[in-house]
Amino acid sequence: NSSVRSLNTGVGELFGNTRFWHGKDYCNFVHKDWIQLDKPFDDFIDRHTTPRMPWHDIASVVHGKAARDVARHFIQRWNFTKLMKPKYCAPSYPYLLPKSHTTAGEQRYQVPNCINANVQILRSASDWSAGIKNHEESIHNAYVHAIKNSRHFLYIENQFFISCADNRYVFNKIGDAIVQRILQAYREGKKYRVYVVTPLLPGFEGDIKTGGGSALQAIMHFNYRTMNRGEHSIFSQLKKEMGDQWINYISITGLRTHAELEGKLVTELIYVHSKMLIADDNTVIIGSANINDRSMLGKRDSEVAVFVEDTETVNSVMDGQPYQAGKYALQLRLECFRMILGANADLSINVSDPVSDHFYKEVWMVTCARNASIYQRVFRCLPSSDVRSMSELDSYLSKPALARDDPARAQEELKKIRGFLVQFPFQFLSEENLLPPMGTKEAMVPIEVWT
């Protein structure tokens, strides 16, 4: 029995503790969501046939006065929760007291590679989450501020991309700020680039070979509504003024990888869980807030983030010209670009100039297009722009795939993959209404759950 066998062995018949991913750490959310969380070391998917879904995330650490503010936010939420929730009334959950303001900046931290910068702590907090009278949406404000004031480029990694306010279902202004900043660059005849990296599919359980299920499709609806579908989308707003020129300003992509599982070639999307913005190689926002209303509006989910403005600069390049980049922001962007474009393995790939025509067109665009077409040929993977309706799913999946029909040639093709970047499949199920159909439990849930 394969499911029993998979409890006892890892891939390659590794036993017990020699596994890298133990129990429920070996997971694939789209294939199957977690069950029996009280048994963390028990497998729940067959690791012989189902590839683990890789995970991509970004975190940061702060010291000194900024760290004091993080602690104060935590203390405020802790004490408010203790006050409001009966189950935390017991003395075993103490009230917390903040440390003194005056000593926060004194300790000189000996952490390797730390960089001095101006740091502000941001949050989404309100009466229900922190007991404050007026809600706070400083993460939302900081995103809009960073976008409006950026001069050269934006690099965004986010688990969701739900924005572009219609003031009916969606209210956050991040997508609209991106549109306005691109239009400003277009009208001024200046170069400006926006890079967005987001998951190819939302992390909800569903069989994508049959369309994915209502929850997964609901999130897809709002992601696509932000990117390219409907009058409020970024692409539609840009096309009104610049036609097809939008392609010179914004690129939305996903990440994918491949491996061998028990002698069979497999592929899986890389789940982008980061919530990060880098602007102009001198400004960074990293936190827990997704690009959606739930995270950004302040009255809803509780979130925290850091806004970093570099104070130390290093020599760099921007559109072929010498440029003083922030030490922290540049280092972080280079690390991200090198990884997702495969520049660590292929030293001919230069990621130092994020806005030049050569980088944007010959490196970024070429890499994501080439990778996507190789994956398409080798695996016939989903989501794909070749599948615009549910009725096309079966015929698409029945067409030959190199991984199945000619594994040796497939291996050769996969050697041409650079990094993980792939084009976003903008036309996937574009002819379908992806909102939950009447009668499903998802349709009974308020729209705000998805936004």
Look up the domain containing 217 and give its range.
65-449
The answer as to whether 167 is a domain residue is: yes
**pLDDT at residue 213 tops 90:** no
Kindly report the backbone phi and psi dihedral angles of residue 283, in degrees, each rounded to the nearest multiple of 5, phi listed first: -135, 135
Tell me how many domains the chain contains: 1
Single-letter residue type at 177: A
The answer as to whether 396 is a domain residue is: yes
> How many other CB atoms are there within 10 angstroms of residue 210's CB atom?
10
CATH code: domain of residue 444: 3.30.870.10
Count Cβ atoms within 10 A of the Cβ of residue 150 and give its class: 0-12 exposed, 13-18 middle, 19 or more buried. Answer: buried
The answer as to whether 18 is a domain residue is: no
Task: Give the CA dihedral 405, 407, 411, 417, nearest 10 degrees.
Answer: 30
Single-letter residue type at 46: D
The answer as to whether 16 is a domain residue is: no
Residue 123: the pLDDT is 96
**427 vs 220, 228, 386, 423, CA distance in Å?**
12, 9, 7, 11
Q: What is the pLDDT of residues 403-434, one digit of tens each?
A: 888 888 999 999 999 999 999 999 999 999 98
Q: What is the pLDDT of residues 360-410, one digit of tens each?
A: 999 999 999 999 999 999 999 999 999 999 989 888 988 888 888 888 899
- DSSP classification of residue 444: G
Q: If DSSP codes are grouped into helix, strand and coil, which group holds residue 177?
A: helix
The answer as to whether 31 is a domain residue is: no
Least confident of 34-48, 138-152, 206-220, 389-403: 34-48
What is the reported pTM?
0.91
The answer as to whether 38 is a domain residue is: no
The residue ranking higher by pLDDT, 112 or 5, is 112
Count Cβ atoms within 10 A of the Cβ of residue 14 and give its class: 0-12 exposed, 13-18 middle, 19 or more buried. Answer: exposed
The answer as to whether 319 is a domain residue is: yes
**pLDDT at residue 110 tops 90:** no
Confidence of residue 229 (pLDDT cuts 50, 70, 90): very high
Confidence of residue 44 (pLDDT cuts 50, 70, 90): low
Q: What is the pLDDT of residues 62-71, one digit of tens each?
A: 988 899 999 9
Q: What is the pLDDT of residues 72-99, one digit of tens each?
A: 999 999 999 989 888 888 888 889 988 7
226-241: burial string, b at 16+ Cβ within 10 Å, e else:
bbbbeebbbbbbbeee
Distance between CA atoms of 359 and 197, rounded to whole angstroms? 17
Least confident of 12-21, 268-277, 343-352: 12-21
Least confident of 36-45, 326-335, 355-364: 36-45
The answer as to whether 10 is a domain residue is: no
Residue 107: the pLDDT is 64
Mean pLDDT, the chain, whole residue set: 89
Residue 29: the pLDDT is 66
**What's the average model confidence in pLDDT over 181-189?**
97
Confidence of residue 3 (pLDDT cuts 50, 70, 90): very low
Residue 183: the pLDDT is 97
